[in-house]
Amino acid sequence: MSAASGESGDTPARDPQKDAGEDVERARESGPSTAPANTPLALLYRPMRDVDLPQVLAIEEMAYEFPWTEGIFRDCLRMGYHCYVAEQGRRLVAYGILSIGAGESHLLNLCVHPHHRRRGVARKLLAFLMDKARSAGVDSLILEVRPSNTAAIQLYRSLGFNEVGRRRDYYPARGGREDALILALEF
């Protein structure tokens, strides 16, 4: 999770990007919508909209000790970041936010509903967002992650991300601050 984050205490400060909300782009994945817990979910990806924010915020608040505020999500939408949700049926199960510009892309948030984890949702949503970045012509994706977030670090490493730096005291933490690891993937 990165610069737009309540985790970092910052608000988005990037240039407006094109499109996130308007070109309704959908990608279906195969598999039954009533799949048992150990099988992949049937996911639909679409741009995040204002009306999604109550569900997004509910997931955000379950997922993070220092969640983003509604204002941060609204800023991301207003700035034209690439904000997507993944749905199963009409249920929102995950979301991801990407900014693209100046030759690189930056993953600002990636979050899966706690009831739908360990079923490949994050891996697939991230692959979807990486395709967005590649098709925008950038050649790398960077992100920040807490060193204590072993699940996310495992996910990123399994996709080929490498550690390229560290931001000191980047995140709020109980009793102080926590550094961020900066991970990058060259396409």
Ligand X SMILES: CC(C)(COP(=O)(O)OP(=O)(O)OC[C@H]1O[C@@H](n2cnc3c(N)ncnc32)[C@H](O)[C@@H]1OP(=O)(O)O)[C@@H](O)C(=O)NCCC(=O)NCCS
Binding site for ligand X (CB under 6 A): 1, 63, 110-112, 117-123, 145, 149-152, 154-155, 158
Among residues 156, 170, 171, 178, the one annotated as catalytic is 156
- Give the span between the Cα atoms of 13 and 162, in whole angstroms: 25
- Select 47 or 161, whichever has its Cβ closest to ligand X: 161
The closest alpha carbon to 59, from 121, 124, 118, 115, belongs to: 115
- Residue 140 CB, shortest distance to ligand X, in Å, is 17
What are residue 162's phi and psi, to 5 degrees? -120, 150
**22 in catalytic set:** no
> Which DSSP letter does residue 48 get?
-
> Residues 186, 161, 124, CA angle at the centre, nearest 5°?
95
Amino acid (1-letter code) at residue 146 = R
What are residue 141's phi and psi, to 5 degrees? -130, 130
Query: Based on C-alpha coordinates, what's the Rg of the chain?
Result: 16
- Select 35 or 151, whichever has its Cβ closest to ligand X: 151
- Residue 22 CB, shortest distance to ligand X, in Å, is 26
**156 in catalytic set:** yes
- Residue 178 CB, shortest distance to ligand X, in Å, is 12
- Select 66 or 101, whichever has its Cβ closest to ligand X: 66
- Select 19 or 123, whichever has its Cβ closest to ligand X: 123
- Give the span between the Cα atoms of 159 and 147, in whole angstroms: 17
Among residues 7, 87, 144, 178, the one annotated as catalytic is 144
Residues with catalytic annotation? 144, 156
